[in-house]
Amino acid sequence: MHETGTPDPDTPADLCAWAKTYASTVDIDVDLDRVDWEVSKRAKRRAGACRYQPGDETCTIVLTWQAYRAFGWRQFTDTIRHELVHAWEFQQFGESGHGARFRQKAAELDAPRHCETFSEPRYVLRCSASDCDWRAARHRASNPVKQPADGYRCGVCQSRYVVEHVDSGETWRTEKGYQQARAELGDDW
Ligand SMILES: [Zn+2]
Ligand SMILES: [Zn+2]
């Protein structure tokens, strides 16, 4: 299944595709034909969610893009297993929570008992193309944060991107801009 090594999805569509593939390898009795997958770029704090439509008995698992960017694939699979336990409860019992039944199933899958939260990243990279909504979260001042003009590009359309220091809203496109922002903010960095 993972013959190409660790998945590294870099677009929401990729993340959906990998999540679906991964879900089919998880040992849980969920009818995946009745599960839809979505990626949210707006959700804050919650890493994922599972919604149930009782009318047609389908579930929608919503994965939070920023959480995936913050966790990386390996840790994000914990979130996928957690949401699959919700889907399992919905399909089997028509309801889901974080009660004893949930906890037992989650333990079987070594999935977290609570809906996982994630912290806002320190930096966000944002594509500068007006018709592209690519964003990437960064917690550390890595080279793509400090030297955005040094050959780094949007992960979708290959345009240049802008780096934003989330707390202050300061933005830059070059290493010089990074150093200026850093100097201006001083202790507020
Ligand atoms: Zn949950
Ligand atoms: Zn772009």
On the question of pLDDT at 39 being above 90, the answer is: yes
Q: Which ligand is nearest to the CA of 82?
A: 1
Topology of domain 12-108, CATH = Zincin-like (3.30.2010)
Name residue 53's amino acid: Q
Ligand with the closest atom to the CA of 160 = 2
Q: What is the mean pLDDT of the chain?
A: 90
Q: Which ligand is nearest to the CA of 135?
A: 2
- The closest ligand to the CA of 98 turns out to be 1
pLDDT of residue 2: 41
pLDDT, tens only, 126-160: 999 988 878 888 888 999 999 999 999 999 999 99
Asked if 88 contacts 27 with a C-beta cutoff of 8 angstroms, the reply is no
Name the residue with higher pLDDT: 147 or 10: 147
How far away, in angstroms, is 96 Cα from ligand 1 center?
A: 8
pLDDT reported for residue 5: 62
CA of 155 to the centre of ligand 2 (A): 7
* Beta-carbon contacts of residue 181 (< 8 Å; ≥ 6 apart): 165, 168, 170, 171, 172
Confidence at 8, pLDDT banded by 50, 70, 90: confident
pLDDT at 182 over 80: yes
Please report, for the chain, the start and end positions of each structural domain, with discontinuous segments joined by +.
12-108, 123-188
- pLDDT-derived band at 27, boundaries 50, 70, 90: very high
- pLDDT, mean of residues 105-126: 87
**Residue 24, pLDDT above cutoff 60:** yes
Does residue 55 carry a pLDDT above 70?
yes
